[in-house]
Amino acid sequence: MKTEILCLEKVFYPPFLDDVNLHILKGEIVGLIPINILGVDELVQLISEGLPLHYGFVSYDGTIVNDYLQPSPKKNNIMIIDKDSNLIDSMTVYENLFVIRKGFSKHIINKKMLYEQTLRLLKDVNINIPPDMFVGELDVYEKVAIELVKAQVIGSKLVILKDISSFIHEKDILLLHKLMKKLSKKGMSFLYVCNHHQEAFLVSDRCYLMKEGHMVKNLNKNEMKDEVMLYYSYVFEQSLSTEERKELYENNDDGDLVLSIKNICYESLKNLSFDLHKGETIVLLDSDNSVIDNLSKLLKNEGMADSGKILIGGKSVNIKDRNLAFVDKKALKSNLFDTLSVMDNVLFCADHKLKNLWSNHKVEKALAQSLEKDFGKMIYEKDLLNLNEAQLFEVLYLKMIFQKPSVLVLVQPFSFLDMYQRLRNIEYFDKLKQMGISILILALSLSDTLQVSDKLLLATDGKIVRSYNRKEFSSLSNLHGSLPIN
């Protein structure tokens, strides 16, 4: 009989968590799929360091660590791995594993001994990294792998991984899953939090579906199928399979050339070439993290290519040109301004289309009144801090609609989003496509990007190695992510 590592019983923490029951056994990999994101951060915090409960209890490794009757929430020995690494870049691998940890109190450090201990640990899980290598020199996957080894060193019985595919590329996700399974056989348990069920199904022994702070279903291995998920995400699927959407993407004949990337060489980019036409949406899947960062730099004029050309409408890229809009992966922080009102944000890049916009406030007032019907009183909000995430996305895409660029570049637009917000974003992308805007999505994992795509470009080693049109998407069974219904 397996030992229970984590137990949440009838946990009530208003307004975020409602009657939560969750159990994880020793050596088990459990997926957590949020249908909407409400309560996910609070759940992770509750598991790792405790929150004052209104009802229920939490036990970890056989001991009750949080109880509503005798509240004494404390920090548990649980490793959380997300986009912000817990490691120190300026220190070596073995220093991060052994020196920077609770309980290490030696004044004289035996480097040779720590080096050899680290070497044995890494070899045991097939990680080929020199122990004396500085962490800052490791790639993203290697850092995550070292964090998992550190969880072993500090005796963590449970590791929580949050939205891993949003910052680790497709190939390394499979390596990570292999490493997790190896460590689970050694007794380590995992809670794998991700927004896409196919990714969770790939590695998990069981999965919980979470909606509005409540566990709506515990899926065993035999229930982890797309057909089962249809029952819980029927609104999502129905919205994506309408005749209007099929027609929108089926009748996409090549229009005028709007973006041309020809033989670009720059850092990791090696003769990168592709074209984007008017009204077309292309997903560029960066399978080894060799394209996104450097291509983004060039599109934002933060670097100069060694050779090749990037042309928009036949002209060199200029980030000040309103024909190009760039939405980074932290879209709500990088593209909106908290100090400006909703309408000022919406119209920020539209002054080239609306004459005397900033000197004639009657124009802004008239536009606000016309938008009120669809967006309510939110449109008059002066402080963006008063808006929730869904409202901020409405502001962002209204801004894109008013700017109406020729080319919209989006970096990982479905990262860290629940099912409802992903569906809403798909609706925004459909609207932009109907307006004739060309969209380039730069992605590390597919998620739902193919739902809004006419073409998929697979990039490896800094260049395009394969191209798929929409009718060929159904053959992509080796890549996790939702596929459009033909």
Percent of the chain whose pLDDT exceeds 70: 93
Is the confidence at residue 446, as pLDDT, over 90? Answer: no
Name 87's Cβ contacts closer than 8 Å, sequence gap at least 6.
96, 135, 143, 146, 147, 150
Is the confidence at residue 482, as pLDDT, over 70? Answer: no
Q: What is the mean pLDDT of residues 175-192?
A: 96
User: In this structure, which amino acid lies at residue 295?
Assistant: L
Q: What letter would DSSP give residue 443?
A: E
| Of 142, 136, 153, residue with least CA distance to 97 | 153
The answer to whether residues 455 and 282 touch, using CB atoms and an 8 Å cutoff, is yes
Sorting pLDDT into bands at 50, 70 and 90, what band is 321?
A: confident
Percent helix, percent strand, percent coil in the chain, to nearest 5: 35, 25, 35
pLDDT given at position 480: 64
The answer to whether residues 150 and 104 touch, using CB atoms and an 8 Å cutoff, is no
Max CA-CA distance within the chain?
Answer: 74
pLDDT given at position 107: 47
Is the confidence at residue 243, as pLDDT, over 90? Answer: no
Q: What is the mean pLDDT of residues 283-301?
A: 92
Which element (helix H / strand E) includes 19? strand 17-25
Computed over every residue of the chain, the mean pLDDT equals: 88
For residues 268 and 129, give the distance between their C-alpha atoms in angstroms, rounded to a whole number.
22
For residues 367 and 365, give the distance between their C-alpha atoms in angstroms, rounded to a whole number.
5
Is the confidence at residue 24, as pLDDT, over 70? Answer: yes
What are 407-444's pLDDT values in tens digits? 999 999 988 888 888 888 999 999 999 999 999 999 98
Q: What CATH number should be reported for the domain whose range is 4-237?
A: 3.40.50.300
What's the distance, CA 318 to chain centroid?
28
pTM for this model (two decimals):
0.82
What are 196-226's pLDDT values in tens digits? 888 899 999 999 999 889 999 999 999 998 7
Angle between helices 361-375 and 389-403 in degrees, nearest 10: 130
Q: Where are the domains of the chain?
A: 4-237, 242-256+277-305+316-475
Name 174's Cβ contacts closer than 8 Å, sequence gap at least 6.
none
Pairing of strands 17-25, 463-469: unpaired
What the block records as the tokens of 114 is 């720590």
Quote the CATH superfamily of domain 242-256+277-305+316-475.
Answer: P-loop containing nucleotide triphosphate hydrolases (3.40.50.300)
Which residue did the predictor score with more confidence, 378 or 101?
378
What's the distance, CA 162 to chain centroid?
9
